Amino acid sequence: MKISKICCIGAGYVGGPTMAVIAQKCPQIQVTVVDLNEARIAAWNDNDLTKLPVYEPGLADVVAEARGRNLFFSTEVDKAIDEAEMIFISVNTPTKTYGIGKGMAADLKYIELCARQIARVAKDSKIVVEKSTLPVRTASAIKSILDHTGNGVQFQILSNPEFLAEGTAIEDLFTPDRVLIGGETATSEGQKAVNALVDVYANWVPKDKILTTNVWSSELSKLTANAFLAQRVSSINSISELCERTGANVNEVAKAIGLDSRIGAKFLKASVGFGGSCFQKDILNLVYIAKSYGLDEVADYWEQVIIMNDHQKRRFADNIIKTLYNTVSGKKITFLGWAFKKDTNDTRESAAIYVADYLLNEQANIAVFDPKVQEQQILTDLDYLNTRSSEENKNNVDITNDPYQACKDSHAIAVLTEWDEFKTYDWQKIYDRMLKPAFIFDGRNILNKEELEKIGFIYKAIGS
């Protein structure tokens, strides 16, 4: 079975870039990305490619090539479902904020709404692909909804989790380490569906990198991959604290252990804590699933990754307060970076939000500069915590688009995101504008200690 029309529900950080790449690599397939959010769709359709809702290096070029040819962004969800042979579900699956599993389980209400909508609209057989990250065994719930509420047509459910990382999404999609497809291969219809999706990816991904498994392995592999990656960050962050006490240097330790090919060099960069929309959510989900099967030791083991991450963010803020003579009340502290990592405008679960919150509780004044994050997003992130009124956040947080202005009359700089441009700043000019002693707390270990100390800064990096 050859696929000629794909629909993707959800035009977010995953749906947008993933479908743009499928469309670019498969000009023979019509790809329509739909979303309920009209503003988001309008931004995807904007002629000015700097206004795309997702900032990702290389994305604008891919969209420019495919959009209007075989890539379409639309709010007409029913029409796109009706026309497509294959429907990707790429909607958000946040941590539940209410009821059973509050604060841990994944909220599947958007997934269920999509399943019900597909069931209502579909008049012929469809392959439904789980692209969102989902708890293991979700496919059976989707199948049940589709089979019981549909129009008697056939549905095949595949799991095809996405492994792209933000900031490198296009590269990751062009040359993935692997593509994972979970399907029901015991039946010929199931096998045909798996083959159809394999054929889509085979347009640009070598066949030996396309892995097929059963549906449950595929769903669980996604949560496991994120848990392992986050665990490495928490592991090295735990060692960073020990380094600070003992005179060891975490960069040197990371290099020394990373050269062991069994350990490997990646994901060993100590930081102020991992952020992003998925690591915490997916580990909490894993913990919840383990608990729901009565596997308390398994649950506790993985929960420790989150506990260590929260500790790291708190510890970073505490260190600023302690170093600034135990008070930051009324002092200006400049944040360089607000995004959860470089090369993205995404701020979800960014460590910066929590560090700012702790410091605002201590009555600090925060100035923020981030090259890609909009002012309103920063205020929304703080308001969302519900720690203080919007008015107070506005009064105590000054957001500017000039880094030199952000550092003026500041007592300390905190580097929260590893943006490359921070390394190129005129640090002497920044030093001259700051109050003395001028401190830098490098939460990303990206600046040059010797150079900054020579200028006169008191420089403190995570893990040394």
Q: Which positions touch ligand NAD (CB under 6 A)?
A: 9-15, 34-37, 40, 77, 90-93, 110, 113-114, 132-133, 162, 164, 166, 277-278
* CA neighbor of 201 nearest in space, from 22, 3, 6: 22
**399 phi, psi to nearest 5 deg:** -110, 130
- Sequence letter at residue 248: A
Among 276, 337, 443, 463, binds ligand UGA (CB under 6 A): 276
Among ligand NAD, ligand UGA, none, the one that 267 touches (CB under a kind-dependent 5 to 8 A) is: ligand UGA
Q: Could you list the active site residues?
A: 162, 222, 278
Closer CB to ligand NAD, residue 113 or residue 211?
113
Give yes or no for a contact between 141 and 110, defined as CB atoms under 8 angstroms apart.
no
Residues 6+ apart with CB under 8 A from 2: 196, 199
* CA neighbor of 49 nearest in space, from 4, 90, 16: 16
* CA neighbor of 179 nearest in space, from 217, 223, 213, 210: 210
Among ligand UGA, ligand NAD, none, the one that 110 touches (CB under a kind-dependent 5 to 8 A) is: ligand NAD
* Helix residue ranges per DSSP H, 411-448: 427-433
For residue 461, give the H/E element and its range: strand 458-461
The answer to the question of residue 165 lying near ligand UGA (CB under 6 A) is: yes
Closer CB to ligand NAD, residue 273 or residue 276?
276
Closer CB to ligand UGA, residue 96 or residue 411?
96
CA dist 352 and 348 (Å) reads 10
The answer to the question of residue 341 lying near ligand UGA (CB under 6 A) is: yes
Closer CB to ligand NAD, residue 219 or residue 303?
219
- Burial code of 435-452, b = ≥16 C-beta within 10 A, e = fewer? eeebbbbbbbbbbeeeeb
Tell me which residues in 179-238 interact with ligand UGA (CB under 6 A): 226, 229, 233
Closer CB to ligand UGA, residue 164 or residue 438?
164
71-74 and 86-89 as β-strands: parallel, antiparallel, unpaired? unpaired
Among ligand UGA, ligand NAD, none, the one that 135 touches (CB under a kind-dependent 5 to 8 A) is: none
Instruction: Quickly list DSSP for 186-242.
Output: TSHHHHHHHHHHHHHHTTTS-GGGEEEE-HHHHHHHHHHHHHHHHHHHHHHHHHHHH
The answer to the question of residue 269 lying near ligand UGA (CB under 6 A) is: yes
Q: How far is the CB of 90 from ligand UGA (least distance, A)?
A: 12
Among ligand NAD, ligand UGA, none, the one that 93 touches (CB under a kind-dependent 5 to 8 A) is: ligand NAD
Instruction: Quickly list DSSP for 364-394.
Output: -EEEEE-SS--HHHHHHHHHHHTSS-HHHHH
The answer to the question of residue 278 lying near ligand UGA (CB under 6 A) is: yes
The answer to the question of residue 275 lying near ligand UGA (CB under 6 A) is: yes
Minimal CB distance residue for ligand NAD: 12
For residue 9, give the H/E element and its range: strand 5-9
Q: How far is the CB of 335 from ligand NAD (least distance, A)?
A: 23
Among 84, 194, 268, 440, binds ligand UGA (CB under 6 A): 268
Q: How far is the CB of 180 from ligand UGA (least distance, A)?
A: 11
Compute the 3-state secondary structure of the chain and give helix, strand, coil in percent, each to the nearest 5.
Answer: 45, 15, 40
* Helix residue ranges per DSSP H, 30-160: 38-44, 59-66, 77-83, 109-121, 138-149
Site size toward ligand UGA (CB under 6 A) is 20
Give yes or no for a contact between 195 and 1, defined as CB atoms under 8 angstroms apart.
yes
Q: How far is the CB of 394 from ligand UGA (least distance, A)?
A: 26
Q: How far is the CB of 91 from ligand NAD (least distance, A)?
A: 4
Distance of CA 143 to the CA centre of its chain: 28
Among ligand UGA, ligand NAD, none, the one that 132 touches (CB under a kind-dependent 5 to 8 A) is: ligand NAD
Q: How far is the CB of 36 from ligand NAD (least distance, A)?
A: 4
Closer CB to ligand NAD, residue 347 or residue 393?
347
Q: Which residues bind ligand UGA (CB under 6 A)?
A: 133, 162-166, 226, 229, 233, 267-269, 271, 274-276, 278-279, 340-341
